[in-house]
């Protein structure tokens, strides 16, 4: 009886999952797997600490399919990650085309769907791509089961980073945060690991110009800073999944000045309401 009951439950769960995917518009693609796959990953496997097997089994959830999210997604499929999920409710506009992974045929279409479809052409090691055309808050984390979350949303809705910070802590999942300054001259990458400093701990004035967290619609934007931050974030994802070395967890990059930024290690703040669990 119990077997029948479980089967019924799992059948119902599968049907509701399909229905939810259909109503949310979730779609999937897959990169091709070259017959000579070993040749594709050969050079990167020579890097100290590299673990191609681990990477090929990893699931990466990227919140935000725009500038940085697209850079990170492209790198992840080129490296041969197992599965990359994109979550974004936004649609492509003409002002995105100077720096994001879209073409003119993508205009007004959902960013997560367009970038996942495009990334399926950029990888050659069988990466599965899943697009969620919804906000990260509406993605079922227990279903996706990511090994790492990348928060690559823009500054228009500042509370999203805080929500991802809480979500990642709640599920004990490492989370990488990125942000670009409104003048497009700098930005940061921060890795929040379970038990270590959270994203809220990193919002220190001595680490980050106040403007970096500001909301600024239609702010200046260029592809150069996205390449820098995307590369750093991709490296951080590797350090989470394999033994590539890293002795920092926060890096503010300024393109214009040597007086700001560089890699540092941020410790938990004793007064952080997230880390101490005392509200906020
Ligand atoms: Zn904290």
pLDDT per residue over 73-106, tens digit each?
999 999 999 999 999 999 999 999 999 999 999 9
Residue 137 C-alpha to ligand 1 middle, in angstroms? 20
Looking at the domain assignment, is residue 4 inside a domain? Answer: no
| Ligand 1 center to 261 CA (angstroms) | 20
Assigned domain for 65 exists: yes
pLDDT band at 15 (very low <50, low <70, confident <90, very high): confident
The domain of 84 spans 26-276
Ligand 1 center to 223 CA (angstroms): 31
pLDDT exceeds cutoff 90 at 2: no
Ligand 1 geometric centre to CA of 20 (Å)? 34
What total of structural domains would you count in the chain? 1
Asked if residue 1 has pLDDT above 50, the reply is: no
CA distance 157 to 90: 12
Side by side, which strands form the sheet with 83-87? 27-30, 128-132, 83-87, 59-63, 148-151, 175-180, 186-192, 250-254, 262-264
Residue 127 placed within a domain: yes
Task: Compute the distance from residue 56 Cα to the ligand 1 centre, in Å.
Answer: 31
**266: domain CATH number?**
3.40.50.720
Cα 240 to middle of ligand 1, angstroms:
19
**85 found inside a domain:** yes
Higher confidence at residue 231 or residue 276?
231
pLDDT at 203: 82
18 in a structural domain: no
Does the residue 126 lie in any domain? Answer: yes
Q: Is residue 9 part of a domain?
A: no
- Give one DSSP letter per residue of 83-101, joined into a string: EEEEE---B--GGGTTTSS
The predicted pLDDT at position 274 comes to 92
Distance CA(280)–CA(273), nearest Å, equals: 6
192 Cα–ligand 1 center, Å: 9
- d(CA 199, ligand 1 centre) in Å: 6
**What is the 174 CA–ligand 1 centroid distance (Å)?**
14
Give dist(CA 74, CA 102) in Å, integer: 12
Residue 36 confidence (pLDDT): 73
Predicted local confidence at residue 212, as pLDDT: 59
Question: CB neighbours of 14 closer than 8 A, spacing ≥ 6?
Answer: none
Distance 195 CA to ligand 1 centre (A): 10
The two structure tokens encoding residue 152: 């690559």
| Ligand 1 centroid to residue 134 C-alpha, Å | 27
What value does the mean pLDDT of the chain take?
Answer: 89
Residue 266 inside a domain? The answer is: yes
Q: Is the pLDDT assigned to residue 156 strictly greater than 80? A: no
Q: What is the pLDDT of residues 162-197, one digit of tens each?
A: 999 999 999 999 999 999 988 899 999 999 999 999
Q: Which two tokens stand for residue 181?
A: 């300054």
The alpha carbon of 275 and the centre of ligand 1 are apart by a number of angstroms equal to: 4
Distance in Å, CA 269 to ligand 1 centroid? 6
């Amino acid at each position: 009886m119990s077997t029948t009951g479980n089967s019924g439950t799992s059948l119902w769960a599968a049907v509701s999952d399909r229905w939810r995917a259909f109503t949310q518009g979730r779609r999937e693609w897959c990169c091709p797997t070259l017959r000579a796959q070993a040749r594709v990953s050969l050079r990167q496997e020579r890097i100290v600490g590299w673990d191609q097997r681990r990477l090929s089994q990893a699931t990466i959830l990227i919140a935000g399919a725009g500038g940085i999210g697209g850079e990170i997604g492209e790198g992840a499929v080129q490296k041969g990650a197992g599965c990359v999920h994109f979550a974004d409710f936004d649609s492509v506009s003409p002002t995105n085309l100077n720096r994001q992974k879209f073409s003119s045929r993508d205009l007004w279409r959902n960013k997560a769907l367009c970038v996942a479809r495009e990334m399926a052409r950029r990888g050659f090691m069988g990466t599965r791509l899943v697009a969620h055309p919804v906000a990260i808050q509406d993605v079922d984390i227990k279903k996706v089961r990511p090994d790492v979350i990348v928060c690559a949303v823009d500054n228009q809705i500042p509370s999203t980073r805080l929500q991802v910070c809480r979500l990642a802590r709640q599920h004990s999942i490492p989370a990488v945060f990125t942000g670009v300054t409104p003048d497009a001259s700098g930005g940061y990458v921060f890795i929040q690991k379970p038990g270590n400093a959270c994203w809220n701990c990193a919002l220190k004035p001595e680490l980050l110009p106040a403007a970096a967290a500001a909301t600024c619609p239609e702010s200046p934007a260029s592809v150069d800073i996205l390449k820098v931050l995307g590369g750093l974030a991709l490296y951080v994802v590797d350090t989470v999944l394999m033994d590539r070395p890293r002795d920092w967890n926060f890096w503010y990059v300024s393109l214009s000045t040597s007086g700001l930024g560089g890699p540092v290690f941020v410790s938990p703040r004793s007064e952080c309401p997230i880390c101490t669990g005392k509200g906020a």
